[in-house]
Amino acid sequence: MDQKQLSDIPFKPFNGVVSGRPAFYRAFLNIEHKADTFIKFPGVKGAIWVNGHNLGRYWNVGPGSTLYVPAPFLKEGLNEIIVFETEKLSRPYVCFTDKHDIG
């Protein structure tokens, strides 16, 4: 059986709201100073990784609408955000916030 590597996955850019099929999306964030933050759910149902660290799964039915991103998961400079969305993206970008929304 031929195993695929993460680098073989065809990533889609966050440049439009896409629905209908599960897909991996990749975005990059350039930061100057690391700090704890939260990422808003980018879609209906899926999972998020930041620099290879799995933040967890999300589902828009709640109870919350953000996932915690600890400062040690980030690095000064370029950061990679990967989203696996099974349904539909909510917006054509990744959104971070300084407040946790737990519903």
Model confidence band, residue 92 (pLDDT cutoffs 50, 70, 90): confident
pLDDT on residue 73: 98
The three-state (H, E, C) secondary structure of 53-90, written as one string: EEEEEEECCCCCCEEEECHHHCCCEEEEEEEEECCEEC
Mean pLDDT of the chain: 88
Average pLDDT over residues 38-65: 93
Residue 75's closest CA among 27, 34, 29? 34
Report helix, strand or coil for 29. strand
pLDDT of residue 6 exceeding 80, the answer is no
pLDDT on residue 2: 58
Q: How far, in Å, CA of 99 to CA of 72, rounded? A: 18
CA atoms within 13 A on the CB side of 58: 28
pLDDT on residue 40: 94
Computed on alpha carbons and rounded to an integer, the radius of gyration of the chain in Å comes to 14
